[in-house]
Structure 1
């Protein structure tokens, strides 16, 4: 629940009233002193100066609509303590009888100490007033922060962001970026001193692209752990971020997308909140820039766009102020016209100009959007479904086909994460990757192309993982899927070969209805010799790879134990040799291994059906 500003203002007024009241009492008591009159008079002068500064602070607080009060509360509390000590001291100088004089002895050292404390309070108040009255950040050090200069700098920067002029606010936000980059302690101070709220306000206002970039960059460097991400969520920052992403210049969107990606990666709660705030649509919209997406709504029954539909589309584009021939508008117009954009199309023409004049910024933005989708979809059913419900899959497929570098890799990683989620969710798997779906076909074609044609391990591995996760969607007759995976079993890159073995294991496991047919296909594509070579390699280099290769061999033996290829490769000897270790380390594989050895023993010539299997 949001705090009531009136209550905050009244509380701050009360906090300022207390030291003013104490100051008046000190001055009155000093005037009534009967001993150490000169020392008391000196203290009274200091207190009077302090009182005037406190009254100035009250006037500033009353006149300022959005006062940054963290340093005010901290300094005023310290001032009140020092005034209380001064009051105690001067009251001792008001004698009343001999006995009281004995118990109220004051020394010059006492006055010197209290005077020093009051001088520090005067320095603190002087700094505080200068922060509120100066243009730009004040980098001088108040006595209260003499041992921690970062604190006073953070106070000054945040005060400037909250109350300063636009140019000064931008500079202050960039200064917070520099501090946050240095270490985690600085980030914690910025958050603890209330820096997130004014940064979100600066981002939301849209006063200038530079201001939004500075605010987004500061938030990005602050939100580097789950705790600080949660603070941004609690301050309703997700709503601001999504709103700005939907309607801001392209160079601002680059920084906002980085923030979205970072938050989604660090916190599953942020993943869900971002998804429910509908961040997927603007991300897919931006990713689809310059990508022509076939829209089934504009297709006639014959599969070709009708003249009537083309005329209607051009009219609609004209109404929305877009160039009908602009490829930039091909998807983003659909996004903005459906009412899901938070800010409308205020910056749409500016984005089109940026896309034409700054191709590097456009490429960076698209790569950032793809990475954000990757992080949002990782392990998240809601977001994965959202991507598939938009034109996300067809867009990802086209980019994987035509682009290269970071953008292509991030799109592949997004597809892989969606496939991983779909592997454990039959509804998503059937809805998004049904065999007759154009989007699913496009994705599958590109995954196979990457596996067969790309030489880069970073691209091949996510493509192989995605195919493996979708193993249960492919019919038995779809042999073109298994072939490229079998070929990669013999890859010179061991990591690629291991991923191929893991993926093939999902085709032949008992959870796959077509496991027997897929097993036959693997053997027909001469996969056994490659698998046996990989087993020998991983035995020395990778336990994870070796175990997965043994599991694949077990499934092949269980489903097609009568295969000549398995007999020629001496698969039975291999399984018996690894049985004791495998069962000891992975007890849940005991039954699978026993069945595989039993099957091979039954079918292979010369093998005794009652021989010792070496399974403990």
Structure 2
């Protein structure tokens, strides 16, 4: 289910939650009628409960008639507190029924207990009055406008919480755009006061309504107000990516991806804030659980992964201040622990959506960025991306594959990144190459084949001469029915055979031994782009392996001489390369040794 799901199921859950205290109030009314002792005190409790019951029913009506998705955080908190106080009142009144003398002695009732219960019910009435004012001010079936700044008893120890609830509810539910703008500005002011306020806003679900205000309104003032609030709240990635509910993390990840895609300055800013680490952490959520194969991963890498995951889990636990009123009545659970439990209990659809949003954000961050590509590889992101390419499908698999392609393209241009991220004994590098080969060999999806081919070509300088298992699949793609895939295969293989590649001669011989010459010559007769890249690779093979019999059998010299006559004069580099290849072939013509070349096919 998407974060923008239809509001009806959520409203039904709110109504069900409000129905429980209504049911308790009806039971209390019956218990008051059955009371024998302390009848006056029980009657006073009954009047308070009747008042509460009326307000609870009003809350149900307002929530049912709301035209927008309800902001449910204060409704649930107040409803739980009211239910707890009503249950205490019911237990007290039931002790006032006629019982045996022994039961009355054992379960004595005092006037102090009635005073305590009445005090709790009065507080619940105050909470309900505040809640109804919030629902009414935000247009939840009422006619009121503006922001409620009153304080309910439930937040007496922490008034900031009441203001945050009121502002968030207005941003999400108010019918007037001016009210939503004012509430967003108030959230900005609160967030700028201190980091504790920022944490409360995020934990109470303030990010999604602001994102919606930013994306779905045409008012420039509203967009500015939402953007200012988000910038003030999200000045630290851990606040909104590590400790938030999964639906908030989805929205924030999408925001990161969108901003980075359209603004290079945002890409650098997010990199400075080290947003990559929490994105990789979220993307790897449940990825490695029970799936580490000891035959494929070393003991050291398994220990390292486990230690890093444990450290991240410890570090992601929110450290709340003692005065922060985010605890349940029993003081056991905090909002941070609840968020962790919510994430674990989320549906597979929501978890997958989170991974899709994180993978897209990482893709946008890695694109054309050496520093971000290095950061992803340093945070074990490559291993995670490889695993998701293996096990996932659709958009998630495609995003991960494209992110790998961007990282390999960066490594192609930077020797330090190649040595650190793609050294031959690296677990992550082996996993990436294995999945790239699987994609090339096992799928016909062009959107996956092309980035996989490009990635292997970008890694050409990292493969030793004996790593011929990469050459074979690339050569096979020269005969692909899709001309774009075949052309990309020629481009990738040209990077293996490029004269400045230290192993260009060994790779060139491997390309020839995998029967790459004939499909390459056919490619050189296709469209202009395919022809150019096919000729480039053919020239590299002629230069690096001029004395190979396969070149003479395929009449490569004749083909290059014919190509030289039709190549455009503007293609100076290609003409020079063809001339050089022809010279090498003429040099060895008639002097080719007939010895048997070692076969490299597998």
Q: TM-score per shorter chain, which class?
A: 0.5 to 0.7
Distance 1:523 1:135 in 2: 76
The structure with higher relative contact order (CA 8 Å, sep 6+) is 2
Distance 1:292 1:266 in 2: 33
User: Of 530, 536, 542, which residue of structure 2 is paired with 1:557?
Assistant: 542
**2:450 corresponds to 1:461:** yes
Contact 1:246–1:343 (CA<8 Å) still a contact in 2?
no
2:235 matched residue in structure 1 = 239
**Alpha-carbon displacement from aligned partner over 1:538-562 (angstroms, at most 9, x marks no partner):** 33xxx33221111111111111122
Shift of 1:601: 2.5
**2:496 corresponds to 1:507:** yes
Matches within 5 A, 1:126-275: 135-136=137-138, 165-171=167-173, 205-206=200-201, 211-219=206-214, 239-240=235-236, 243-275=239-271
In structure 2, do the counterparts of structure 1 residues 458 and 585 end up closer, same or farther at CA, with 3 Å as the change threshold? same
In structure 2, do the counterparts of structure 1 residues 288 and 571 end up closer, same or farther at CA, with 3 Å as the change threshold? same
Shift of 1:213: 1.1
In structure 2, do the counterparts of structure 1 residues 351 and 218 end up closer, same or farther at CA, with 3 Å as the change threshold? farther
Distance 2:260 2:363 in 1: 9
Contact 2:236–2:273 (CA<8 Å) still a contact in 1?
no
**Any idea what SS the aligned residue of 2:244 has?**
coil
1:334 matched residue in structure 2 = 311
Matches within 5 A, 1:263-302: 263-292=259-288
Distance 1:393 1:498 in 2: 27
**2:522 corresponds to 1:527:** no
In structure 2, do the counterparts of structure 1 residues 172 and 334 end up closer, same or farther at CA, with 3 Å as the change threshold? farther
1:601 matched residue in structure 2 = 586
**2:471 corresponds to 1:482:** yes
TM-score using structure 1 length? 0.58
**Any idea what SS the aligned residue of 2:239 has?**
helix
2:13 matched residue in structure 1 = none
Distance 1:488 1:402 in 2: 23
Distance 2:432 2:480 in 1: 23
In structure 2, do the counterparts of structure 1 residues 357 and 484 end up closer, same or farther at CA, with 3 Å as the change threshold? same
1:378 matched residue in structure 2 = 367
Shift of 1:435: 0.1
Contact 2:237–2:274 (CA<8 Å) still a contact in 1?
no
1:419 matched residue in structure 2 = 408
Shift of 1:400: 1.2
Comparing 433-442 with 285-294, greater Cα deviation is found at 285-294
Distance 1:588 1:174 in 2: 65
Shift of 1:163: 11
Distance 1:450 1:470 in 2: 16
In structure 2, do the counterparts of structure 1 residues 570 and 290 end up closer, same or farther at CA, with 3 Å as the change threshold? same
**Any idea what SS the aligned residue of 1:475 has?**
coil
1:70 matched residue in structure 2 = none
In structure 2, do the counterparts of structure 1 residues 196 and 347 end up closer, same or farther at CA, with 3 Å as the change threshold? closer
Shift of 1:255: 0.7
Distance 1:597 1:232 in 2: 65
**2:564 corresponds to 1:568:** no
**Any idea what SS the aligned residue of 1:206 has?**
helix
**Any idea what SS the aligned residue of 2:452 has?**
helix
Distance 1:578 1:455 in 2: 32
Contact 2:198–2:233 (CA<8 Å) still a contact in 1?
no
In structure 2, do the counterparts of structure 1 residues 247 and 162 end up closer, same or farther at CA, with 3 Å as the change threshold? closer
User: Of 540, 563, 577, which residue of structure 1 is paired with 2:562?
Assistant: 577
Contact 1:247–1:343 (CA<8 Å) still a contact in 2?
no
Distance 2:471 2:559 in 1: 24
Contact 1:461–1:499 (CA<8 Å) still a contact in 2?
yes
Distance 1:453 1:549 in 2: 24
1:48 matched residue in structure 2 = none
2:68 matched residue in structure 1 = none
**Alpha-carbon displacement from aligned partner over 1:44-91 (angstroms, at most 9, x marks no partner):** xxxxxxxxxxxxxxxxxxxxxxxxxxxxxxxxxxxxxxxxxxxxxxxx
TM-score using structure 2 length? 0.59
1:548 matched residue in structure 2 = 533
Shift of 1:171: 2.6
In structure 2, do the counterparts of structure 1 residues 292 and 173 end up closer, same or farther at CA, with 3 Å as the change threshold? farther
Contact 2:207–2:230 (CA<8 Å) still a contact in 1?
no
Distance 2:531 2:455 in 1: 21
Contact 2:137–2:174 (CA<8 Å) still a contact in 1?
no
Contact 2:373–2:407 (CA<8 Å) still a contact in 1?
yes
In structure 2, do the counterparts of structure 1 residues 475 and 200 end up closer, same or farther at CA, with 3 Å as the change threshold? farther
Shift of 1:238: 5.9
**Any idea what SS the aligned residue of 1:467 has?**
helix
Contact 2:171–2:209 (CA<8 Å) still a contact in 1?
no
In structure 2, do the counterparts of structure 1 residues 269 and 216 end up closer, same or farther at CA, with 3 Å as the change threshold? same
**Alpha-carbon displacement from aligned partner over 1:219-241 (angstroms, at most 9, x marks no partner):** 45689xxx99xx87995676255
The unaligned stretches of length 5 or more in structure 2 are 1-135, 140-145, 148-162, 322-333, 593-602
Distance 1:253 1:262 in 2: 14
**Any idea what SS the aligned residue of 1:480 has?**
coil
Comparing 337-346 with 516-525, greater Cα deviation is found at 337-346
2:53 matched residue in structure 1 = none
The unaligned stretches of length 5 or more in structure 1 are 1-133, 138-155, 180-189, 314-326, 608-616
